[in-house]
Structure 1
Amino acid sequence: MSRVRVHNLSVSLDGYATGEGQSLDAPFGHAGTRLLDWFLRTRAFRDVHGESGGETGVDDAIARAWGPGIGAEIMGRNKFGPQRGPWEDHEWTGWWGAEPPFRTPVFVLTHHPRPSLEMEGGTTFHFIDASPHEALRRAREAAGGLDVRIGGGPSTVREFLAADLIDHLHVAIVPIVLGRGVRLWDGCEGLEERFRTESVTTPGGVTHMIFSRP
């Protein structure tokens, strides 16, 4: 059976995977880009966006594992956009412009479904009100035997961890303190008992933690 994977989920030293106060101009709230600076510098990031340059090395090698073998993604509504409640702005198509980097079916978890949205480059957003098990069933059907990526944010990753549905979890611990926002690890006591754990710290101070099924 295909695996369920999480990649490049950045977390502060005090456990926050996003800041407080998400808005149209601040996708990660008061955290800004600080959680992602390590990733934005990599060649992997530049490659995904069709740009040249970028750093190579360990950060890049780990970051680029994000794409190969993925046939569908599941994300929470707050990763797709800052709106809450019923969809009032159907013109909003996500943070990524006309050609999002996913290039697969993407299932957006929301209590307010809306029609699917087909984008350039192979990405189609499907907006579903579903449990983790049901969302994964639908994503696997769409993935055609390939793996399914849980794209975040932290609340969605926690839900899939609580349902014991994740096979591979990559967390990048970034040497910053946010103080407030949405935490990843709440309710995850004993997580290490379910996974084999590896880690590497890069020269920039980021510690990559890999949790994988034995």
Structure 2
Amino acid sequence: MSRTRVHNLSISLDGFATGEPQSREAPFGHAGQRLHTWMFATRFWDEGGSVGVDDAFAVRHGEGFGAEIMGAHKFGPPGWHDDPDWRGWWGEDPPFHTPTFVLTHHPRPPLEMEGGTTFHFLDATPADALAVAREAADGLDVRIGGGPTVVRDFVAAGLVDHLHLVQVPIVLGRGVRLWDGLEALEDTYDIEAVSSPSGVTHLTFTRRAGRPDPA
């Protein structure tokens, strides 16, 4: 069976994966791009970027996926569902190149983009959304793309096999935290930490064998 994976989710030292308030002009609120500067410096992001620890982790974001699930706040700013012309942050050729399922209480018809990305808008539980995405992935893995609320919901439901977080040495103080309610993950996952010369720490959570997928 395909796995469910999270890659390159950056969090602050105090556990926030995005700042506030989110808007069209500030997708990550007061955090700006400070959570992601480590990635912008890699060859994964830019051909002239560096190789090394950060790049080795970053490239896994695109390996072996057949579908993605994301939350409404990753697809657009507050109120995007009232704008019929909103087509996401990424232009006409989004970087997903797979069927991409947006969890929202305001479903709309599918949105076909260039490069193989089609956005599907679902009002569904994590388990039901994963079942739909797995069928679309056709044997490949499903990426849970964020934001932090969606990742937290899928982890809490026991649906994530592999979780890659990047702890960035900044303190945001406010925003959306990943960890709330996720008590004792160490009982379910094997955890590894790898420090990078850039100052970030890559945290990898791999679900232990014998923990069946509840779906």
User: Match for 1:114 among 96, 108, 116?
Assistant: 108
Cα contact 2:97–2:116 (8 A) shared by 1? yes
1:90 shift after superposition: 1.4
User: Match for 1:56 among 33, 51, 75?
Assistant: 51
The aligned counterpart of 1:49 is: none
The Cα RMSD (Å) is 0.9
The aligned counterpart of 2:18 is: 18
Question: What secondary structure sits across from 2:21 in the alignment?
Answer: coil
Deviations along 1:129-164, whole A, 9 cap, x unmatched? 000000000000100000000000000001001110
Aligned letter for 2:34?
R
For 1:58-207, what aligned pairs fall within 5 Å after superposition?
A: 58-84=53-79, 87-207=81-201
State the distance in 2 between where 1:25 and 1:91 align: 17
State the distance in 2 between where 1:116 and 1:103 align: 15
Aligned letter for 1:99?
D
Question: What secondary structure sits across from 2:115 in the alignment?
Answer: helix
Give me the TM-score of the superposition, normalised by structure 1: 0.95
The gaps in structure 2 that reach 5 residues or longer are 209-215
Question: What secondary structure sits across from 1:25 in the alignment?
Answer: coil
Aligned letter for 1:152?
G
**Number of matched pairs:** 208
1:45 shift after superposition: 1.5
Cα contact 2:194–2:201 (8 A) shared by 1? yes
State the distance in 2 between where 1:152 and 1:101 align: 14
The gaps in structure 1 that reach 5 residues or longer are 47-51
1:192 shift after superposition: 1.1
State the distance in 1 between where 2:150 and 2:174 align: 18
1:87 shift after superposition: 2.1
1:207 shift after superposition: 0.4
1:83 shift after superposition: 2.6
1:128 shift after superposition: 0.5
State the distance in 2 between where 1:100 and 1:56 align: 24
State the distance in 1 between where 2:49 and 2:200 align: 17
State the distance in 2 between where 1:138 and 1:83 align: 25
Give me the TM-score of the superposition, normalised by structure 2: 0.95
Deviations along 1:75-112, whole A, 9 cap, x unmatched? 0000000033x822111111111100100000000000
Cα contact 2:94–2:117 (8 A) shared by 1? yes
Cα contact 2:22–2:78 (8 A) shared by 1? no
Deviations along 1:150-180, whole A, 9 cap, x unmatched? 0000000010011100000000000000010
The aligned counterpart of 1:211 is: 205
Hey, which bits of structure 1, 4+ residues long, moved more than 4 A? Answer: none
